[in-house]
């Protein structure tokens, strides 16, 4: 049987064999959706870049076709886009039989120059003819790539955006015939991925209505960055804004939400009083972690913050504050950030009992969190920082503690992330979608380990095709994503519960014996006044993948530490976390495949895409809550049928 190997995705596109990276040239034409992609026809690692090709009639089922644009003698064929030239502005076809025109980067073998080249197809994308041997646009750079072209009706011209990767800029050019291009403007640097060595790649610019209101449209710049991401390696951010045919003007990025209050402890400064330290030395080193010999570590994890660390080389250590009186409704703290596995807990102790507790994992960025201590005002309390880590350099911190007037959630420091997982990259949208929907597809991997993922005889999968929209939120307008509706055609056996306490849903799921590696799960649960709520997937032996929401810390986390094979890169064994405001209701849609998980939370406003490589028998699932018995409004588990049969 085809496509039955271990870890072969059953709902996601993969080439039958060999290496794949970025999706390229997505376009609808003549009843077919085309997916071209960076492909190595000769091997299972990156190389011999060519455009592979697949077509679909519904954006769910795909058929692989022969390589569309092979590596040429002079250039490798890097990423790019395809448009339907309906008015035959290029002259390569006719208006009744419009040409498909591809603009892509040619990476010149002789000197590494990267320029934008053109090819056209008159036979529904099957064969392509290069337009001359020279590029249509050459800015004399080795780092200028990934042209995305679209028609801008208000100014009657084609717009090309491409990345000036190392300059952290997106370049804008205009044309009336796709062959001659004129400089318009530059955008950037802005947001994440602007540090030395970071790369900007694969930009796209689209227009979307806000909340479906076509009278209120915004432009959205979609951008891949390699470096400067949440978890390392590749990731995607976006910017909302306006575009006048020449220049993209971004909306202000979200402000960093600082708590207001009285600084109680600042472990870089001096406002900490005299804390007591107990600790166990790691290896032969001295037990550090006293405030006197605290150390300073600069700007890792892209936060740009300078962290002191408590614990140092201490493998387990406790720091206890002097007693103090709780005077404000919140105790706010900056916690997390490091580069080796471990955990830091912050405990609030009243009358010798831990009354509030929060943990920060090493894998997290530094983030503000808060204890609600309204009910404890006037009490005498003390704080305890407990550090335990397995590596010699467990840079896990509680950095600052405040008595504060406001509870707040920090919103992702001046960056709008398109995805909070680690495996969504180089996504861009389909041109000429028949209903005008903006749908996109991304590469489900990360340059940090892409070449080592142990699948055979193919390597890398595409994400699901997702429909994009813009939604207003209290924080501003945000991008939302959901799988295209046609995925629903793959739903088979279904188990459904509604308006039941979670404990009964949990038991119902056990009674129904629901298992599976390919599932489509919908959950809506009341999170007011409960502890954490979570789902476990791909369970078997020691393996599980845990998706959990903690309404108190307002964190949605996806834990793939025990998901399965992670031997090829430490990055597989980690937890990805995002802040999700507790609105009293958690809404999740989760699509699981044999080697991936895609999570769409709060109607797609928060997305995680992660690969995971569980063992063949690991197909259990579970729903749980840590305390209380929250009301499950809706819970559906649908088995998904393979797209390959």
In our burial notation (b when 16+ CB lie closer than 10 A, e otherwise), range 582-610 reads: beeebbbbbbbbbbbbbbbbbebbbbbbb
- Cross-strand bridge partners of residue 387: 317, 344
Q: Please count the other Cβ atoms lying within 10 Å of the Cβ belonging to residue 326.
A: 20
254/475 Cα distance (integer angstroms): 7
20/443 Cα distance (integer angstroms): 9
Which residues of 453-551 form beta strands (DSSP E)?
458-459, 466-473, 476-483, 491-501, 519-526, 533-540, 543-550
- For 8, residues 6+ apart whose C-beta sits below 8 A from its C-beta are 14, 455, 458, 594, 595
Specify the residue, 78 or 458, whose C-beta has the smaller distance to ligand FRU.
Answer: 78
Contact of 316 with 388, CB cutoff 8 Å: yes
Q: Which residue do the tokens 């390569």 mark?
A: 92
328/270 Cα distance (integer angstroms): 21
Specify the residue, 78 or 309, whose C-beta has the smaller distance to ligand FRU.
Answer: 78
For this structure, is 22 an active site residue? yes
608: tokens are 């995680």
28/431 Cα distance (integer angstroms): 6
274: tokens are 């005299």
Measured at the CA of 447, the angle between CA 395 and CA 69, to 5 degrees, comes to: 170
Specify the residue, 202 or 623, whose C-beta has the smaller distance to ligand FRU.
Answer: 202
Contact of 597 with 608, CB cutoff 8 Å: yes
Cβ at position 248, least distance to ligand FRU in Å: 19
Q: Please count the other Cβ atoms lying within 10 Å of the Cβ belonging to residue 634.
A: 15
Exactly one of 22, 204, 419, 520 is catalytic; name it: 22
160/175 Cα distance (integer angstroms): 8
Cβ at position 63, least distance to ligand FRU in Å: 23
- Cross-strand bridge partners of residue 351: none
Cβ at position 159, least distance to ligand FRU in Å: 19
Specify the residue, 164 or 490, whose C-beta has the smaller distance to ligand FRU.
Answer: 164
How many Cα atoms occupy the beta-carbon half-sphere of 114 within 13 Å?
A: 19
User: Which letter does DSSP use for residue 412 in this model?
Assistant: G
Task: Give the three-state DSSP class for 100.
Answer: strand
Cβ at position 443, least distance to ligand FRU in Å: 7
How many Cα atoms occupy the beta-carbon half-sphere of 378 within 13 Å?
A: 1
CA nearest neighbour of 564 among 607, 602, 614, 525: 614
18 membership: H or E segment, kind and range: strand 18-29
Cβ at position 102, least distance to ligand FRU in Å: 13
Site residues (vs ligand FRU, CB under 6 A): 21-22, 38, 49, 78-79, 105, 145-146, 201-202, 426
626/636 Cα distance (integer angstroms): 21
Cβ at position 492, least distance to ligand FRU in Å: 35
What residues act catalytically? 22
């Amino acid at each position: 049987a085809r496509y039955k190997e271990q870890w072969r995705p059953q709902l996601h596109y993969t080439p039958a064999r060999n290496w794949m990276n970025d999706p390229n040239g997505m376009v609808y034409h003549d009843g077919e959706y085309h997916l071209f992609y960076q492909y190595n026809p000769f091997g299972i690692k990156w190389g011999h870049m060519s455009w592979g090709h697949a077509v679909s009639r519904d954006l769910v089922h795909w058929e692989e076709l022969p390589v569309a644009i092979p590596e040429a003698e002079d250039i490798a064929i890097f990423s790019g886009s395809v448009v339907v030239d309906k008015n035959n502005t290029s002259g390569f076809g006719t208006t009744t039989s419009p040409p498909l025109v591809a603009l892509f980067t040619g990476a010149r073998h002789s000197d590494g120059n990267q320029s934008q080249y053109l090819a056209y197809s008159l036979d529904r994308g099957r064969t392509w003819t290069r337009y001359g041997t020279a590029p249509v646009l050459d800015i004399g750079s080795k780092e200028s790539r990934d042209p995305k072209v679209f028609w801008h009706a208000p100014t009657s011209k084609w717009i090309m955006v491409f990345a000036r990767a190392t300059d952290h800029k997106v370049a804008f050019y205009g044309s009336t015939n796709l062959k001659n291009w004129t400089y318009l403007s530059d955008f950037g640097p802005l947001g994440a991925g602007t540090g030395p060595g970071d790369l900007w790649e694969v930009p796209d610019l689209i227009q979307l209505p806000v909340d479906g209101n076509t009278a209120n449209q915004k432009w959205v710049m979609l951008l891949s960055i390699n470096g400067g991401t949440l978890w390392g390696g590749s990731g995607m951010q976006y910017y909302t804004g306006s575009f006048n045919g020449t220049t993209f003007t971004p909306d202000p990025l979200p402000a960093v939400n600082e708590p207001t209050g009285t600084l109680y402890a600042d472990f870089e400064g001096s406002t900490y009083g005299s804390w007591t330290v107990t600790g166990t030395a790691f290896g032969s080193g001295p037990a550090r972690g006293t405030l006197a010999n605290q150390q300073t570590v600069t700007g890792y994890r892209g936060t740009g913050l300078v962290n002191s660390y408590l614990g140092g080389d201490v493998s387990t250590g406790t720091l206890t504050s002097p007693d103090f009186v709780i005077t404000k409704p919140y105790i706010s703290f900056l916690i997390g950030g490091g580069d080796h596995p471990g955990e830091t807990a912050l405990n609030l102790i009243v009358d010798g009992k831990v009354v509030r507790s929060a943990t920060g994992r090493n894998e997290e960025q530094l983030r503000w969190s808060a204890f609600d201590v309204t009910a404890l005002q006037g009490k005498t309390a003390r704080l305890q920082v407990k550090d335990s880590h397995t590596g010699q350099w467990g840079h896990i911190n509680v950095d600052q503690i405040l008595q504060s007037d406001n509870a707040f959630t920090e919103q992702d420091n001046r960056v709008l992330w398109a995805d909070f997982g680690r495996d969504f990259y180089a996504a861009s949208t389909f041109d000429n979608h028949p209903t005008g929907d903006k749908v996109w597809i991304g590469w489900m991997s990360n340059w940090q380990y892409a070449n080592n993922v142990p699948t055979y005889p193919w390597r890398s999968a595409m994400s699901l095709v997702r429909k994009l929209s813009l939604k207003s939120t209290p924080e501003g307008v945000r991008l939302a994503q959901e799988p295209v509706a046609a995925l629903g055609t793959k739903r088979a056996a279904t188990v459904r519960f509604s308006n039941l306490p979670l404990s009964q849903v949990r038991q119902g799921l056990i009674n129904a014996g629901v298992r599976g590696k390919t599932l489509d799960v919908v959950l809506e649960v009341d999170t007011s006044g409960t502890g954490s709520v979570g789902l476990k997937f791909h369970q078997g032996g020691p393996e599980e993948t845990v998706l959990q929401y903690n309404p108190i810390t307002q964190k949605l986390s996806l834990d793939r530490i025990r998901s399965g094979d992670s031997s090829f890169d430490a990055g597989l064994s980690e937890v990805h976390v995002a802040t999700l405001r507790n609105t009293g209701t958690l809404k999740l849609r989760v699509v699981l495949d044999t080697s991936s998980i895609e999570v769409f939370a709060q109607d797609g406003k928060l997305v995680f895409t992660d690969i995971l490589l569980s063992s063949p028998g690991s197909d259990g699932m579970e729903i749980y809550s840590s305390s209380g018995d929250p009301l499950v409004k809706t819970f559906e588990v649908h088995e998904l049928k393979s797209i390959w049969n």
